[in-house]
């Protein structure tokens, strides 16, 4: 019995029409959305749909660009990232599977593969992309919240995160302690936090994501 599948969109790139048709029928029967492509160029020209979790089932050998070359190109250009990718091939070997994993594939399946193996991989890929969607949305919200702060609120925020007391921040910024308290309350409200620990965690997330919030003070 097939276990419940995570909902989402599955992109399939394979130049074999029979395989595309079989995968389309299988995945749609499980309630998944499917988009089919015979070559990489068709996939790259697709209309973006980043509103739902997605994954990519990618054949290694294709008429225009190989699946491995697509993975390498996505890593090197730093452009639009690929969704979690499952490589499939009828000509695979261990060295090829290693190259695929190093290039970013999350799974490598040799044809003929079982439906169960493919569905497990797709489910894991969709779960991974859903978590990524949630992380990106939360980070986008944090960046907007941080950007809404005034310059003084930025300054107070960084003093708070550095562990300074209100009176120390007041002395550093040349303002009264009461004014610092007012700014601090505004910072907590705008950043959507109620505790110092939560505020520090939010700033750490921004820094880990590659954001440079300290530049706002420049």
Sorted by where each begins, the domain ranges of the chain are 9-131, 148-217
DSSP assignment, residue 1? -
More confident residue, 88 or 96: 88
- Looking at residue 215, its pLDDT comes to 44
Q: What's the 3-state SS for 112-127?
A: CCCHHHHHHHHHHHHH
Which sign, positive or negative, has the C-alpha torsion 191, 195, 198, 203?
positive
Mean pLDDT of the chain: 88
Q: pLDDT band for position 180 (50/70/90)?
A: very high
Q: Tell me the three state secondary structure of residue 186.
A: helix
Q: Is the pTM of this model over 0.85?
A: no
- Looking at residue 147, its pLDDT comes to 93
- Looking at residue 2, its pLDDT comes to 54
Which sign, positive or negative, has the C-alpha torsion 96, 128, 194, 187?
positive
Q: Name which of 136, 135, 138, 142 is nearest 190 in CA terms.
A: 142
- Looking at residue 92, its pLDDT comes to 66
- Residue 47 pLDDT more than 90? no
Q: What is the pLDDT of residues 141-171, one digit of tens each?
A: 999 999 999 999 999 999 999 999 999 999 9
**Do residues 123 and 6 lie in contact, with contact meaning Cβ atoms separated by under 8 Å?**
yes
Q: pLDDT band for position 72 (50/70/90)?
A: confident
Query: Across residues 201-217, what is the average pLDDT?
Result: 70
Mark 12-43 as b/e (b = at least 16 C-beta within 10 Å).
bbbeeeebbeebbebbeebebebbbbbbbeeb
Q: The domain 9-131 is classified under which CATH number: 3.40.50.1970, 3.60.15.10, 3.40.50.2300, 2.170.190.11?
A: 3.40.50.2300
Q: Dihedral angle at the C-alpha atoms of 209, 214, 217, 218, nearest 10 degrees?
A: -100
More confident residue, 218 or 179: 179
Q: What is the pLDDT of residues 12-45, one digit of tens each?
A: 999 999 999 999 999 999 999 999 999 999 999 9
- Residue 199 pLDDT more than 50? yes
Q: What is the pLDDT of residues 97-128, one digit of tens each?
A: 888 888 889 999 988 889 999 999 999 999 99
Q: pLDDT band for position 73 (50/70/90)?
A: confident
Domain 148-217: give its CATH architecture. Orthogonal Bundle (1.10)
- Looking at residue 79, its pLDDT comes to 57
- Looking at residue 80, its pLDDT comes to 67
- Looking at residue 105, its pLDDT comes to 92
């Amino acid at each position: 019995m097939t276990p419940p599948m995570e909902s989402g969109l599955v992109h399939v790139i394979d130049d074999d029409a029979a395989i595309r048709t079989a995968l389309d029928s299988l995945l749609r029967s499980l309630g998944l959305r499917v988009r089919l492509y015979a070559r990489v160029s068709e996939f790259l020209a697709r209309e973006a749909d980043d509103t739902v979790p997605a994954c990519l089932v990618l054949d290694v050998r294709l008429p225009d660009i190989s699946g491995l070359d697509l993975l390498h190109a996505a890593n090197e250009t730093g452009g639009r990232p690929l969704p979690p990718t499952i490589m499939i091939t009828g000509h695979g070997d261990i060295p090829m599977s290693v190259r695929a994993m190093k290039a970013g594939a999350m799974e490598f399946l040799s044809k003929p593969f079982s439906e169960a193996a493919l569905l497990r991989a797709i489910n894991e890929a969709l779960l991974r992309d859903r978590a990524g969607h949630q992380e990106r949305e939360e980070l986008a919200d944090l960046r907007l919240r941080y950007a809404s702060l005034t310059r003084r609120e930025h300054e107070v925020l960084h003093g708070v995160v550095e562990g300074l007391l209100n009176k120390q921040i007041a002395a550093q910024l040349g303002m009264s302690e009461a004014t610092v308290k007012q700014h601090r309350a505004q910072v907590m409200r705008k950043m959507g936090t109620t505790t110092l620990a939560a505020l520090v965690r939010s700033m750490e997330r921004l820094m880990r994501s590659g954001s440079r919030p300290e530049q706002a003070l420049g």
